[in-house]
Amino acid sequence: MEFKIAIIQYDIQWELIKENMKFLESLFNKIDSSIDLVILPEMFLTGFSMNVDRNSVELEGEEITWLKEQSQKKDVAILGSLAVKENGKVFNRALFIQPDGHIEQYNKRHLFRMGGEDNYYSKGIVRTVIVYKNIRILPQICYDLRFPVWSRNKNDYDLLIYMANWPASRQKVWDILLPARAIENQSYTIGVNRVGKGGGLDYVGGSKVIDFKGDFVCCLEDQSNIMEIVSIDIEKQDAFRKKFPAYLDSDTFSII
């Protein structure tokens, strides 16, 4: 089963929601109906901002309405994270928007305390697996990458996705941990990062798709705005897991 994905790595204009929407719409217009899923970076309309009063959106707001319209118009699912305000709290929330208007959600569990994220955002508590076109998808956000227990594959997902604003100063960690997650979970793993400058930090991208053996399907050019189309083959992954079912020997654990 082939699943076609568009990865968008770009320079998020700092806290300029309208400008980022305009830029993304120009890219969405280039997407055809053969694409199943578009993946955007973390906080794709603002950058990794702690200014939640200015930058948080609501599920019934115009930004989400716009995303639904883009998804429906192109008949493609869209995944990315935003600062979402709900019931007096703000979450760094991954939104999986489907063409029929249905939205699945995941709130970032591991908040980046070194950047003060835990002072402004509420912590997620639910690990979420999304099923779309018979593909089981586990969304994760940036700092989650450092915590392998949270992403451990219990043979309950097919595709692991990290949306990030991962700074250039720690790019080596990004480059090492993404293939590690793919290998240990025997899963296609995608990391989508931003480029440019934002909030005083530099970002060089390094977005990549890695297969279930740890081999690179594609690596996006650093420091470039780019949209890359890739296909993954879940049947090949299933065959490999059947031949080499390491997950059957994994340890059991509970998360507290």
- Residues 239-252 pLDDT 10s: 999 999 999 999 98
The pLDDT-based confidence of 236 (bands split at 50, 70, 90) is very high
Neighbours of 249 (CB within 10 A): 6
Quick one: pLDDT at residue 125?
95
Quick one: pLDDT at residue 114?
96
Q: How far apart are CA 58 and CA 38, in angstroms?
A: 21
∠ CA 65-130-135, nearest 5°, is 115
Q: How far apart are CA 234 and CA 130, in angstroms?
A: 15
State pLDDT tens for residues 33-48: 899 999 999 999 999 9
Beta 159-163 vs 135-141: how paired, if at all? Answer: parallel
pLDDT of residue 175 exceeding 80, the answer is: yes
Region 197-215 average pLDDT: 97
> Is the distance from CB of 84 to CB of 19 less than 8 angstroms?
no
**Across the chain, what does the average pLDDT equal?**
96
Q: Which residues does the annotation mark as catalytic?
A: 42, 108, 142
> Is the distance from CB of 111 to CB of 121 less than 8 angstroms?
yes
Region 209-234 average pLDDT: 94
State pLDDT tens for residues 128-172: 999 999 999 999 999 999 999 999 999 999 999 999 999 999 999
Alpha helices by DSSP H, listed for the chain, are 17-28, 52-55, 62-74, 117-120, 171-185, 234-243
pLDDT of residue 253 exceeding 90, the answer is: no
Region 1-10 average pLDDT: 94
Could you tell me which of 6, 10, 11 has the C-alpha nearest to residue 226? Answer: 10
